[in-house]
Amino acid sequence: MAVLSGCQTPPPPAPTSEISLPPPRVMLLLSVRGFDSTFSVETESLVTQSLLEQEIPVVDQTVVDANIQKIKSVLSASGDDQGAVMLGTQFGADVIVRGEAVVRSLASHIANSKLQSFQAQIKLQAISTDNGQLLASAADAATVLALDAETGGPRALQSATSKMLGTFIPALLSSWEQQVSEGHIRPASDGGAVSLARALQSDSSTDEASLPSLPADYTPPVAAIWQLTPQNGVPSDWMALITDKLHAMIVKSGWFRLVTRDDMEKLLAEHNVQMSDACDSTAQAVEYGKILSANQIIIGAVGRLGQTYQVVLKQVNVESGEIEHVGQAEGRGGAEVLLRLVKMAAADLLRNETAAAPTTDPAVMQALEKESSSQ
């Protein structure tokens, strides 16, 4: 029986990973007063494109336009704040972005010139559909010179809108993340991602008590951890968060010398492979392990059946292609239960590793030799 002792050398530091909350789903309501009704469409398009570039999902504007009279009635009857809450429920939006823009001519003609001066002013407000709270607001204006309204109006409006969005979108995202992380706002539909991220943010422990100690004089092999694979409807965008927690636990254990994330990305890029690519077979694990020059590679999956989640981890020997150890855990609950399950599965994997670890402690070796000679 092996005698276990503490790690002889401190493990490398755990990787730092910023956990970001999912962005809000935005519903856009804009009105533009000016020379041409197309100004409104152009402004909506610019705001929508800017939001999408920041990976902020937007309710389909054709759906909004098709229900615009109903939307106006709700806002008129209930007021801006309460109306926003009601609309968010109906259209699945987390935030209503309301705005008004005005385009006008400042002078008929500039002296001794055919040029005219046009000014645009725009203001946006972001309102939470969960509680009617104002999350962000911004306003800006711009003046341009042009030959006619068809040219000058859109240019002035585009300039004012672009400047305003530069402050509005960061303010919206900052306020949203703060309000959600503090529990003041519940997203309309996050599929559990917010509760998972919140649980990971609030728990920085790796449950050291559950991690088996290292044998004396143990030399950890080089290993890589592949991003876990989602199964049975588990969202793929959860995997990076869960894998980060697994990575932190394995690093803390000291049982393996892990290939860093940066090195993995560089080595895999040379073979046109990404860490987010699925790795759900031993053949793939061996292939990727060889690319990473690892002795062992840990792969796994996160699945769900009803309200029961399951995490399964497999340690694959890159040289032989054999699955040497398996760790698994399952439990019922919401997405946040995965935090506990990945810890349990990692501890289970390491306990199996402990049972198979070679014994190098002199006292233990002497006892084993004496026992063998007496038989």
Q: What is the pLDDT of residues 125-144, one digit of tens each?
A: 999 887 788 999 999 999 99
Q: What is the rounded CA–CA span in Å between residue 94 and residue 58?
A: 10
The predicted pLDDT at position 38 comes to: 64
C-alpha–C-alpha distance, residues 335 and 290, integer Å: 33
Give the pTM.
0.50
Q: Which residue has the higher pLDDT, 4 or 264?
A: 264
Q: What is the pLDDT of residues 245-286, one digit of tens each?
A: 899 888 888 899 999 988 999 999 999 998 888 888 899 999
Are residues 55 and 113 located together in one domain of the fold?
A: yes
365 part of a folded domain: no
Write the Ramachandran bin of 304: left for phi over 0, alpha for psi from -120 to 50, otherwise beta.
beta
In this structure, are 81 and 217 located in the same domain? no
Q: Per-residue pLDDT averaged across 221-247, rounded?
A: 87
Among 119-128, 169-178, 354-363, the minimum mean pLDDT is found in 354-363
Q: Give the angle 139-143-148 at the CA atoms, nearest 5°.
A: 130
Say yes or no: 237 and 332 in one domain. yes
Q: Which residue has the higher pLDDT, 36 or 69?
A: 69
Higher pLDDT, 86 or 203: 86
Convert the pLDDT of each residue in 289-335 to its tens digit: 999 999 999 999 999 887 788 999 999 999 999 999 999 999 887 67
Domain identity same for 154 and 52: yes
Instruction: Please give the angle made by the CA atoms of 108, 114 and 119, to the nearest 5 degrees.
Output: 45
Domain end call among 127, 152, 181: 181
CATH number of the domain bearing residue 143? 3.40.50.10610
- End-of-domain residue from the set 181, 213, 244: 181
How many domains does the structure of the chain reveal?
A: 2
State the pLDDT at residue 314: 95
Do 49 and 153 share a domain, yes or no?
A: yes
Query: 203 with 294, same domain?
Result: yes
136: left (phi over 0), alpha (psi -120 to 50) or beta: beta
Structure tokens at 255: 């049982």
* CA–centroid distance for 133 within its chain: 24
Residue range of the domain that includes 289:
195-356
Residue 253 has φ and ψ, to the nearest 5°, of: -70, -30
SS3 320: coil
- Is the pLDDT score of 85 beyond 70? no
* Mean pLDDT score, 112-116: 81
Pairing mode, strands 323-332 and 308-317: antiparallel
User: Where is pLDDT greater, at 209 or 331?
Assistant: 331
Q: Are residues 146 and 211 in the same domain?
A: no
**Number of CB atoms found within 10 A of residue 70's CB:** 11
Question: Residue 4 domain-assigned?
Answer: no
Give yes or no: residues 202 and 175 share one domain: no
Among the residue ranges 40-49, 60-69, 342-351, the one predicted with the least confidence is: 60-69
User: In the predicted model, is pLDDT for residue 223 greater than 90?
Assistant: yes
Burial 170-199, CB ≥16 within 10 A → b, else e: eebbebbbebbbeeebebbebebbbbbbbb
* Same domain, yes or no: 109 and 153: yes
